[in-house]
């Protein structure tokens, strides 16, 4: 059952990545004098921007769930499932936000990722 939780973690991480990217757009327009003041104004921009903050908190919730799941999951299964499927969920959620997939190799890679994860999971059962 830990494989199911690892897939949930990958979905939480991957699905939020494009939203974090889109939510942080505009931070490059924050300009202040001094490095510390610049940092604080950028931090303020992110904290008070719900389009960034909500996906960030969901992403961090995925990290907490990953940490909890590692207690009962095999490490040789946890790392490939979460890392590879995070990439897959990032591409899929990015498509919903209008990001384009420009190369057919991306689709082949997605199929190979699914095949690899299926092989990892089936080997451990």
pLDDT at 84: 87
Domain range summary for the chain, segments of one domain joined by +: 2-124
pLDDT at 1: 63
The CA distance from 116 to 44, in Å, is 41
pLDDT at 78: 87
pLDDT at 125: 66
pLDDT in tens, the chain (125 residues): 677 899 999 999 999 999 999 999 999 998 988 999 999 999 999 999 999 999 999 999 999 999 999 888 888 888 888 988 898 899 889 888 887 777 888 888 888 988 988 887 787 76
pLDDT at 123: 74
Signed CA dihedral, 53, 58, 59, 65: sign only:
positive
Select from 80, 74, 76 the least CA-distant residue to 115.
80
Specify whether the backbone of 7 is left (phi greater than 0), alpha (psi in -120 to 50) or beta.
Answer: alpha
């Amino acid at each position: 059952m830990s494989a199911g939780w690892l897939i949930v973690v990958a979905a939480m991480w991957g699905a939020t990545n494009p939203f974090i990217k889109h939510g942080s757009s505009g931070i490059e327009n924050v300009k202040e004098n001094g490095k510390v003041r610049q940092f604080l104004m950028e931090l303020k921009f992110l904290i008070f921007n719900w389009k960034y903050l909500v996906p960030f908190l969901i992403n961090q919730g995925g990290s907490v769930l990953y940490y909890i799941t590692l207690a009962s999951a095999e490490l040789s299964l946890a790392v490939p499932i979460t890392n590879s499927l995070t990439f897959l969920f990032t591409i899929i959620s990015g498509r919903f936000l209008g990001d384009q997939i420009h190369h057919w190799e991306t689709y082949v890679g997605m199929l190979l990722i699914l095949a690899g994860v299926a092989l990892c999971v089936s080997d451990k059962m």
